[in-house]
Amino acid sequence: MNLVERFISYTKVNTTTNRENGAAGIMPSSEGQRVLALQLVEELKALGVEDIKIRDTAIVTATLPSNLDYKVPTVAFFGHLDTSAEQTNDTKAQILPYKGGDLCLNKELDIYLRQSEFPELENYIGDDIIVTDGTSLLGADDKAAIASIMDMLQYFKQHPEVKHGTVKIGFVPDEEQGLRGSKAFDTKEFGADFAYTLDCCGIGELVYENWNAGDVEITFTGASAHPMSAKGKLKNSLLMAHKFVAMLPGGEAPEYTEGREGYYWVKQLAGNSARTVLKMDVRDFTEKGYAHRMAFLKQLSDYCEGLWGEGSVTCKLADRYANVFNSLQGDNRYPIDIAVAAYEANGITPRPIPMRGGYDGAALSQNGLPCPNIFTGAHNFHSIYEYLPVKSLYAASDVLKSVVKITAERFAPGAKA
């Protein structure tokens, strides 16, 4: 099976994440993810890789044993099974030649991939592009990753003369709702030394920075009273919450920030005059900045409680995931260096970008498995306009093959560090 056929076969399995089931602790949150996991297990068996396991959670792992006579670090590659709940329809993928201008996805529904809206299309003139019919996501996030990983395994099984160390793979569920699968992943049992996810966009992108991320829940407790006799009695928790929000730093919200600028995101506010709960996300690229933001919210909560009375404001702070870069310092930087060398070996200029979000590598890195993020080649994740240039898909698989080869060369006896 060639790479494109493999990818399209995966898009035919609806693996939309189910937010309600996820919130209830069910993993995988959707049965389609288990169906795809079982399909991958059968394909792994057919490829002849070893130590294939599938858990009740639909986490799949397998190993391609080393054919070297010396030891090198074990590299792993990860993809996630689920697709975003932004669209739930089954995917109807199609391959269209792109000659420039607008690309018609669905003539009946007048749905076009318009070059004026997506100017990067110009980079793919002359390429074939995989798209949908405009009624669903494509699911290249993250089935392009899974297809590239499987294609890489197939290459090494078909070419035993190519030297490589031990390669491990992991497919995890429910990345699209808080990295649930990777948080449940047992990195110690897995036995890899470093890893890569494939979960960013256009060809050349390379991510080894993402947010330090936290969740904040602040509860405002007031005192209700009938408005006819409320004077001196009513303490309106809704207004307390609004006053609290008004004291947040101006301009430090998602809609005002970009690049490496952190923020406070007022995400949900619900309640009544007696009790109101404010939920916020905190994001910052630096550990110091993140710690400062979390401490600021606690201090502001304490200050407001001093104004409004004991028990009027309670603040719960929780860490969600950390910046991958925290685990790639000093002697642990080599996964970045190997990725850069793999890009360059394939004539691809690396484009490091800070990811203003999270990905499975954040949870894996925090659990002791350093994990940068390699491109899938796709664009417009979570959108009906998601598309995947065929050459970019092949490039992603080629980069994985080069990572494995370079690892074997870099750590060979007598090789220069």
Bridge partners of 192, per DSSP, are: none
Q: Which amino acid is at 61?
A: T
Instruction: Give CA angle at 179 (256, 390), nearest 5°.
Output: 85
Query: Cβ distance 282 to 214 under 8 Å?
Result: yes
Annotated binding-site residue? 176: yes
Query: Cβ distance 75 to 407 under 8 Å?
Result: yes
Is residue 258 annotated as a catalytic residue, yes or no?
no
Both tokens of residue 199? 């979960």
**Could you count the other beta carbons within 10 Å of the beta carbon of residue 259?**
8
Query: Cβ distance 138 to 83 under 8 Å?
Result: no
Is residue 186 annotated as a catalytic residue, yes or no?
no
Distance CA(245)–CA(407), nearest Å, equals 50
Distance CA(59)–CA(269), nearest Å, equals 35
Distance CA(108)–CA(110), nearest Å, equals 6
Query: Cβ distance 281 to 321 under 8 Å?
Result: no
Annotated binding-site residue? 80: yes
Which one of the listed residues 43, 151, 175, 386 is annotated catalytic?
Answer: 175
Strands of 313-321's sheet, edge to edge?
263-271, 275-284, 212-221, 313-321
Which residue in this structure is represented by tokens 């920030």? 257
**Could you count the other beta carbons within 10 Å of the beta carbon of residue 399?**
26
Counting Cβ atoms within 10 Å, is residue 12 exposed (0-12), middle (13-18) or buried (19+)?
middle
Both tokens of residue 189? 């049992």
Largest CA distance in the chain: 87
Annotated binding-site residue? 379: no
Nearest to 396 by CA among 7, 1, 122: 7
**Could you count the other beta carbons within 10 Å of the beta carbon of residue 318?**
11
**Could you count the other beta carbons within 10 Å of the beta carbon of residue 228?**
6
Using CA atoms, how far residue 351 sits from 243, 339, 413, in Å, is 42, 11, 31
Which one of the listed residues 43, 82, 209, 360 is annotated catalytic?
Answer: 82
Active site residues: 82, 175
Annotated binding site: 80, 141, 176, 199, 382
Residues placed in the known binding site for Zn(2+): 80, 141, 176, 199, 382
